[in-house]
Structure 1
Amino acid sequence: MLAPRPTAGDASPARPVLSGAVGGVLGLPAGAVAAIAAWAFDGNPTTGIVLAAAAAMALAALTTTTGAVVAGALSWACYDGFVLHRFGTLEGGRADVVALGVVVVAAVAAQLVGAVVRHAGRARRPRAVSPPLSRPDVAQGRAVGADRQCSVPAPSGRRRPRAVWARATLRR
């Protein structure tokens, strides 16, 4: 029978919810909210970096890799400028660079997990499969030559000619 094989889903990866630019730019307000929340929880730097990483990870799961890196860097900037140091001062000491690495790596890891989840969800979704072609002449054992056309019933009940099936000969 001439019919396409049904597959579980499409092999192409699903697109992210947010574009890289939007996901990256949203890292600043998310980092600001994380910094305010860290201040509400006694201003502890450990709490601040956890909240900054969580904010970056939440955005990174929905965006591209570029957006994840930018969201992580902007969340780190809010953490570094308002939780670790005061008055928006960014510094480049060893602890600052380690914190930047932690937040950006967490964001990229969350982006990869989000991409895998999106791809797995798309792979499980069944794809539309066309119905098998009804070929009464092949089913009855008659060969279809290169000069004959196969007629397939149309959905309305009337018959319409199909393309020439040149190599669709049944061999015994």
Structure 2
Amino acid sequence: MDTKLPPYATFGQRLWFYGFRVICGMIFFFLIAPIVTIIPLSFNAEDFFTFTPGMLALDPEAYSLRHYRAFFGEAGYPLTGLLIGLGIGIAITVALRLFKGSKNYFPIVIFAILGVIVGKLTGLEGEEWMTPMRNSLRIAPVATLLSVSFGTLAAIGLSQSHVPFKGVIMAILISPMIVPLIIS
């Protein structure tokens, strides 16, 4: 894909070309900023993910790998799961490449992550990790099914031209995307 502008591009075309990239970059930053904030918290030496005064002062004693050691060092087989997941992902990617000509490496990443999770779950014991993991695995499919079902019904209903208060209903349905959960 050629991303260069032709020499005869007008001022408006040049403005849109570069402005669009700036807008996309700002949207990407807006979406990735929460993750960038959480990463330093994962190295906290305390029990909870909070910015402590020691972390803000860049004190080396305030940082630790204890949360990573607790998850990857206890029972379970995350490396075995990773290898099995990578194998499945590579096999699917090769099959897609042979039959469809696809150059997508997404299955490798997905199955590697799933392999680590499944490998970890196979050997986990105790309430510290199992209860939250079990709750997440029970709640997530139900929440997904409900949200997809209600979202589809709302989309079908709101696509009709004769819906009264269509603008108000759309505003209510879209408001959770506009106002972050932390603020509300």
TM-score range, shorter chain: under 0.3
The structure in which a higher percent of residues are strand is 1
Bigger proportion of residues as helix: 2
What TM-score does the superposition give when structure 2 sets the normalisation length? 0.25
**Which of the pair has more CA radius of gyration?**
1
Tell me: higher relative CO, structure 1 or 2? Use CA pairs within 8 A at least 6 residues apart. 1
- TM-score under structure 1 length normalisation: 0.26
